[in-house]
């Protein structure tokens, strides 16, 4: 592995001489390639787009109000009378995982998965678009923020800056990742190149020489990343035995992020999203293990569990955090679904996580405790969870830059090192 990487770097460096000087990172990498690659702490952010129903994902089965408010779509309490795969998986007597998240239970038990409940954005909007925008900009209520929290979370770099230090899986760069630091979107790392060799070099120069600021910047980032990713395109990726990624875009994204991390190409933050959470109608099938929520949770939980298995010991460097723009109504609606709500649930997974616990103050579902008399109330601001990871995992202490205008209230202490 080390030697192929070195050869790649030399060849890529030489290839680029013809069209101008090799970028600084590549020159440095050429010189440093004999030294073992420096390991970085890595943060992977997952966005569940469409407002995931936190109350059916981490189920408050200890609270009878939950069952009163959701007569036909509640996830049943674990009990001897009901098949295991159709009931919540108990975590602590009060909360339980949706049965489709069974693959996450061993990680929770190994204390490498923490859950924060009743968490989210304090902004009252129930617009998917605005709420995603606010969560991704990291500035609820402020539309003018130009860049995303994950871009600002990248620590100041000295020396070698990898062109893939911030990478998002998919055809568009999410709001979270936009901003002054280089960040790239990659649909498929094995396909990430201009296929026509003759054209590739000229196109590269067209973009790097363009006075079009936007296209020039993105073009440079793109071709730097192309050069680097060629090094890992040569060998087909074989996940660790036992890491079974689910079929579909989310599984593909997680597999590729794992591949990048294990290839030591300098990833520091990665982003993937997973859609199909907006269940206004028939959210749960005849049994809890059926229906659209169960299906998307299988993909979600399966992808996270496969990633965990795939990285193995390397998880000690990695934290994965999940979020969704808002939760859903505490009561089911008229179509066995749920409408747009408020607070939600987040998962935090990693080697350095103090897991095996559901964090956050549970506000309860009593009518007077609900937000606007309909939704789960918020007791943890999502920026407290992300902020702890920005400081503790990425080593970036300037939270005022990452979450401008926000005064951290209380880190929940999900990280071992913080």
Contact status: 173 vs other proteins (CB under 8 A): yes
Does the protein bind other proteins through residue 171 (CB under 8 A)? yes
- Interface residue with other proteins among 43, 44, 48, 50 (CB under 8 A) is 50
Number of residues this chain uses to bind other proteins (CB under 8 A): 63
Residue 15 lies near other proteins (rule: CB under 8 A): no
Query: Of residues 96, 251, 266, 337, which one binds other proteins by CB under 8 A?
Result: 337
Q: Which is nearer to other proteins, 286 or 407 (CB)?
A: 286
DSSP alpha helices (H): ranges in 70-212? 105-109, 128-137, 149-152, 197-208
End-to-end CA distance of the chain: 34
Best CA proximity match to 415, nearest among 340, 309, 319, 277? 319
> By CB under 8 A, which span of 98-106, 115-123, 163-171, 381-389 interacts with other proteins?
163-171
227, 26 in Cβ contact below 8 A?
Answer: yes
**129 belongs to the binding site for other proteins (CB under 8 A):** yes
* Residues 403, 102 contacting (CB under 8 angstroms): no
71, 106, 242, 395: residue in contact with other proteins (rule CB under 8 A): 71
**Smallest distance, other proteins to C-beta of residue 37, A:** 22
Candidate list 192, 245, 308, 362; residue touching other proteins; CB under 8 A: 192
User: Is-contact 246 274, C-beta < 8 A?
Assistant: no
Neighbouring C-alpha atoms within 13 Å toward the C-beta of 134? 22
> Which one of residues 27, 190, 205, 295 is an interface residue with other proteins (CB under 8 A)?
205
Please give the backbone phi and psi of residue 80, each rounded to the nearest 5 degrees, phi first.
-70, -20
The answer to whether 385 and 414 are in contact (CB under 8 A) is yes
Q: Report the b/e string of 310-320 with b at 16+ CB within 10 A.
A: bbeebbebbbb
Determine contact, residues 399/138, Cβ cutoff 8 Å.
Answer: no
269-274 vs 42-48, strand pairing mode: parallel
> Residue 178: how many CB atoms within 10 A of its CB?
18
Provide the mask over 261-290, with x wherever binding to other proteins is found by CB under 8 A and - wherever it is not.
Answer: --------------xx---xx----x----
Phi then psi dihedrals of residue 417, to 5 deg: -80, -15
Binding residue (CB under 8 A) for other proteins from 53, 299, 325, 339: 339
User: Does 68 help bind other proteins (rule: CB under 8 A)?
Assistant: no
| 233 interacts with other proteins by CB under 8 A | no
Q: Is 340 in the site for other proteins (CB under 8 A)?
A: yes
Task: Report residue 350: phi and psi, to 5°.
Answer: 170, 165
Residue (73 or 399) nearer to other proteins, CB:
73
Residues 288 to 327 in contact with other proteins, rule: CB under 8 A:
none
**Is residue 161 part of the contact set for other proteins (CB under 8 A)?**
no
Q: Which is nearer to other proteins, 82 or 94 (CB)?
A: 82
**Least CB distance to other proteins at residue 185 (A):** 4
To other proteins, the closest distance from the beta carbon of 227 in angstroms equals 12
- Residue 79 CA: distances (Å) to CA of 76, 82, 85, 96, 106: 8, 6, 11, 12, 20
Separation of alpha carbons 338 and 283, rounded Å: 7
Q: Does 418 bind other proteins (CB under 8 A)?
A: no
Q: Which of 63, 65, 82, 210 binds other proteins (CB under 8 A)?
A: 210
The CA-atom distances, in angstroms, between 33 and each of 12, 25, 28, 41, 230 are: 13, 11, 8, 20, 16
Q: Contact residues for other proteins (CB under 8 A)? A: 18-19, 49-50, 71-72, 124-130, 168, 170-173, 178, 184-187, 192-196, 198-199, 201-203, 205-207, 209-212, 214-216, 218-219, 221-222, 225-226, 275-276, 280-281, 286, 332-337, 339-340, 372
């Amino acid at each position: 592995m080390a030697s192929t990487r070195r050869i790649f770097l030399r060849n890529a460096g030489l290839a680029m001489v013809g069209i101008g000087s090799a970028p600084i990172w590549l020159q440095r990498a050429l010189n440093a390639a004999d030294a073992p690659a420096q390991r970085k702490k890595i943060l992977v952010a997952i966005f569940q787009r469409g407002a995931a129903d936190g109350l059916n994902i981490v189920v408050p089965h200890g609270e009878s109000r939950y069952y009163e408010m959701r007569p036909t779509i509640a996830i049943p309490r674990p009990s001897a009378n009901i098949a295991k795969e159709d009931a919540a998986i108990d975590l602590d007597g009060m909360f339980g995982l949706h049965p489709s998240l069974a693959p996450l239970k061993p990680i929770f038990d190994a204390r490498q998965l923490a859950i924060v409940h009743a968490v989210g954005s304090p902004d009252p909007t129930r617009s998917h678009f605005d709420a995603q925008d606010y969560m991704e900009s990291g500035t609820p209520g402020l539309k003018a923020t130009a860049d995303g929290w994950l871009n600002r979370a990248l620590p100041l770099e000295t020396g070698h800056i990898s062109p893939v230090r911030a990478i998002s899986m998919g055809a568009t760069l999410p709001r979270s990742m936009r901003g002054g630091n280089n960040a790239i979107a990659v649909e498929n790392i094995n396909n990430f190149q201009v296929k026509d060799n003759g054209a590739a070099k000229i196109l590269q120069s067209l973009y790097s020489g363009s006075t079009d600021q936007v296209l020039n910047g993105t073009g440079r980032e793109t071709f730097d990343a192309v050069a680097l990713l060629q090094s890992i395109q040569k060998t087909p990726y074989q996940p660790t035995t036992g890491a079974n990624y689910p079929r579909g875009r989310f599984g593909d994204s997680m597999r590729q992020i794992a591949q990048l991390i294990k290839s030591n190409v300098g990833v520091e933050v990665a982003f993937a999203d997973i859609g199909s959470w907006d269940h206004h109608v028939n959210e749960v099938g005849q049994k809890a293990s059926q229906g659209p929520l169960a299906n998307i949770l299988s993909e979600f939980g399966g992808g996270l569990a496969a990633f965990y298995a795939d990285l193995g010991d390397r998880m000690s460097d990695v934290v994965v955090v999940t979020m969704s723009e808002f939760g859903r109504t505490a009561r089911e609606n008229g179509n066995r679904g749920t409408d747009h709500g408020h607070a939600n649930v987040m998962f935090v997974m990693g080697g350095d996580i103090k897991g095996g616990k559901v964090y956050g103050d549970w506000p309860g579902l009593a009518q007077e405790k609900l937000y606007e008399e309909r939704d789960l109330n918020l007791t943890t601001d999502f920026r407290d969870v992300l902020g702890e990871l920005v400081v503790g995992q990425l080593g970036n202490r300037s939270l005022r830059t990452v979450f401008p205008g926000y005064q951290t209230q209380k880190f929940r202490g999900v990280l071992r090192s913080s």
